[in-house]
Structure 1
Amino acid sequence: MVENRPWLTFLSHAVLIGGIGIVCFPLYIALVASTHEANDLIARVPGWFGSNAYENYTTVLGQGMVSAGGSPVGIMMLNSLVMAIGIAVGKIIISLMSAYAIVYFRFPFRMLCFWLIFITLMLPVEVRIIPTFAVVAQLNMLNSYAGLILPLIASATATFLFRQFFLTIPDELTEAARIDGAGPLRFFFDVVIPLSRTNIAALFVILFIYGWNQYLWPLLVTTDESMNTIVMGIQRMVNVADTVAEWNLTMATAILALLPPVAVVVFMQRLFVKGLVEVEK
């Protein structure tokens, strides 16, 4: 018999509502600030929405903030979108192939290769950023999507996760595919990838947000304002020189920067949750 405790239910709901309020309050302030004029935000943030929302959003999308270089937010969001999708797709493809080779192919030093890949977890891009930048510069990939994406598409974490999943695929399934005449490529595309669908979706959401939020690497490899990403644009809007930041435009840009990651999470929510919690494949 389950004991009914109304006070405990009320307390748990109150804690959840309080947590949601703490998370959503900064978003509410940013949304309200993005609808006012710059002069309205000098002393304090008004408590309710203003009437300048259309002008603020059309300004940042069309011409950007003049004091921060004038790069349109639309172009910066496009650059971030291309970078985030390229990093997520590249990491997943490379990790799928490397994990598949490590699990299903018997070659010398197979486990040594896996541990060498796994050890790279201790070498994030910030640690190897100088030699990586030198290689990118020598290959003439500065101010290009290739320079933004290629140095970041190797992922030891995704390789490890796919390897652990591939080890759970029953050997009987592999033998059945071999008896039916399926080669390594057909088994990979017709069996392994469909079984990995939820894992791919969960990793895509995580890796997309990882690529979208990149700041240090794009800051180094891009000098052309047309290649700025949205995170770089927000930082430049906040740290303007010899003038006061236009917080209404900055907040409008921040709200726009939230939309693609939120859309990806909402659109892939079911597969994302399933890929995180599913234990029986």
Structure 2
Amino acid sequence: MIERRPVLDFVAHAVLILGVAIVAFPVYLTLVGSTQTAEQIAQSRPMSLIPGSHFLETYRLALFGGKTSLGSTFAAGGPMMLVSLISALIIAIGKIAISLLSAFAIVYFRFPLRNLVFWMIFVTLMLPVEVRIGPTYEVVASLGMLNTYAGLTVPLIASATATFLFRQFFLTVPDELVEAARVDGAGPMRFFKDILLPMSATSIAALFVIQFIYGWNQYLWPLLVTTDESMYPVVLGIKRLISGEAYTEWNVVMATAMLAMIPPALVVILMQKWFVKGLVDTEK
């Protein structure tokens, strides 16, 4: 029997509400700022918390670009969001596909130095992109992949973390399933496609959410490998909006930031059930 204590319930809910307010207030401030003019934001100290009347005008400028009333020219944010979306999808799907195949090979194939290969993959966790960024850039430039989707995504696709998670999950699969598949005449790839993939669905969903957000939020690597504005992701575009003009029109910057939040938020909301279930199943 669970004893209910009204005071503790009140404190718990108060802490949760306070936490939500702390997280949501910057988002609300950004939304309010995107509905005002640059003059209103610059002149108000502090900035008004009441939404303005320039919502459609500001978001049209953020999405399609153009000139403002102050004469500033903004690049369209829509193509930048498309670049971010394509890059995030390639990175997420690529990481999952490569990690699934790598874990499958390490667990179910017997070859010399199998454990050494796994630990060599795992050790790469200590070598993030920031550490190997010089040699990686040299390789990408030598292959002519600057200002391309391949240059934006291929160096980021390999994932030791995902390989480790799938390996641990595959180790929990009963040997009886492998034997039954072998008796039924199923080859390795059929066993992988018909048995392991359906069993890994929740883990794949959880990793997809994490890797999609990882790919969407990339800044440092695109900063190095893109010089053409048509290949800028939206995170890099927001940074250039802030530093590209002597006078920053914060309303457009905030509108672009709000638009950049929508795809990751939609992925989390739509896949929340699968995401939580995948994390719980992975823990088991």
Aligned partner of 2:65 in structure 1 is 63
Match of 2:253 among 240, 250, 253: 250
CA contact (8 A) 1:77 1:229 kept: yes
Task: Name the structure 1 match of 2:55.
Answer: 53
Pairs aligned (count): 280
Amino acid at match of 1:246: E
- Are residue 219 (structure 1) and residue 228 (structure 2) matched? no
Equivalent position of 1:18 in the other structure: 18
Equivalent residue number for residue 85 of structure 1: 89
Return the alpha-carbon distance in structure 2 between the equivalents of residues 65 and 10 of structure 1: 51
SS at match of 1:223: coil
CA RMSD of aligned residues (A): 1.5
Q: Deviation digits for residues 220-272 of structure 1, max 9, x if unmatched?
A: 0000001001000111112234x221010000000000000001111111110
201-210 vs 58-67, greater mean Cα deviation:
58-67
Q: Which runs of 4+ in 1 moved over 6 A?
A: 65-69
Q: Whole-Å Cα distance in 1 between the matches of residues 21 and 266 of structure 2?
A: 21
For 1:232-251, list aligned pairs within 5 A. 232-241=236-245, 243-251=246-254
Pair 1:207–1:246, CA change in 2 (3 A): same
Tell me by how many angstroms 1:58 deviates.
0.4
What's the CA shift for 1:47? 1.5
Structure 2 residue identity aligned to 1:74: G
**Structure 1 residue 137 and structure 2 residue 141: aligned?**
yes
Pairs within 5 Å for 1:90-239: 90-239=94-243
How many Å separate the matches in 2 of 1:279 and 1:165? Answer: 7
TM-score (norm 2): 0.95
1:208 to partner: Cα distance: 0.3
What is the aligned-residue identity percentage? 62
Partner of 1:267: 270
- Give yes or no for contact 2:152–2:225 (8 Å, CA) kept in 1: yes
**Is there any run of 5+ residues in structure 1 with no aligned partner, and where?**
none
Gaps of at least 5 residues in structure 2 are none
Other structure's SS at 2:98 match = helix
Question: Relative to 1, partners in 2 of residues 1:143 and 1:280: Cα closer, same or farther, differing over 3 Å?
Answer: closer
Question: Is the CA contact 2:61–2:74 (under 8 Å) kept in the aligned structure 1?
Answer: no
